[in-house]
Amino acid sequence: MQVSMKLEMKDTPGQLVSVLEPISECGGNIIAVIHQRDPESESDTLDVQIVLDLPAGRLPALIDQIKERGVDILRIGEERLLHKRSLIMIGHIMHTDISDTVDQIDRTGFAEVSELSLMMPAINERSSARITIKTANRTDMESAVTILRRVAGKKELLVVEPLEEWA
């Protein structure tokens, strides 16, 4: 699960480290630390935005630990579906029931279609669509794409997939 939080802390040495420690103790992985200091500011506090990847269920413990260190959490947001992949479909997309195609992904419970852009040049001509799927992790993404491939195959749609980065 990806979490983004905005923290207010004292502008003194060691403050930032004291917040980062509990994150790794909770098994989290820090993705970004955005550290903004306003040179005009008279205030002795500092706003820091942290983006992290955290195992499910650890967020309450992390919030407690950060508060114990005297840091205020100004805002917190979580993004459940972290993995995103866009594919392009070509064929008779409308006539093969586009809402069914989308539904086959959505009803899995682990994947959802977050964007669909459709271009239809003329009636009876093949149309093209870009479909973006979101899932919580890579394994779910592979399963969702496998479903899309199968559905598209039955409907005689060509699926153009991204070239995956070699991990």
Partner 1 sequence: MRVALLGFGSVGQGVARMLGEKDLPLTLTAVADSKGGILDPEGISIPEAFSRKAKSGSCGRPKVSALDIVSSDAYDILVEVTPTNIDTGEPAISHIRKALGLRRHVVTSNKGPIALAHRELTELAGKKGVALRYEATVCGAIPIIHTLQHGLLGNEVKALFGVMNGTCNYILTRMEDEGLTYDQALGEAQEMGYAEKDPTYDVKGLDTALKLVILANTVWGMDAGIKDVKVTGIDLITPEAIQLAMDQETAIRLIGEAIPSKDLLRVSPRIIPRNHPLLVEGTLNALTVVTDMAGELTFIGKGAGSIETASAVIGDLLYIRERYAGRP
Question: Residue numbers of the site for partner 1 (CB under 8 A)?
Answer: 86-88, 90-91, 117, 119-121, 126-130, 158, 160-163, 166
Could you tell me the smallest distance in angstroms from the CB atom of residue 124 to partner 1?
A: 14
Of 62 and 89, the one with the shorter C-beta distance to partner 1 is 89
Question: 54-91 as b/e, with b when 16 or more CB fall inside 10 Å?
Answer: beeebbeebbebbeeeebeeeeeeeeebbbebebebeb
- Residues with Cβ < 8 Å from 123, sequence gap 6 or more? none
Could you tell me the smallest distance in angstroms from the CB atom of residue 83 to partner 1?
A: 16
CA–CA separation, 75 vs 44, rounded Å? 19
Q: Is 156 left (phi over 0), alpha (psi -120 to 50) or beta?
A: left
Of 87 and 147, the one with the shorter C-beta distance to partner 1 is 87
Could you tell me the smallest distance in angstroms from the CB atom of residue 106 to partner 1?
A: 21
Could you tell me the smallest distance in angstroms from the CB atom of residue 127 to partner 1?
A: 7
Of 73 and 116, the one with the shorter C-beta distance to partner 1 is 116
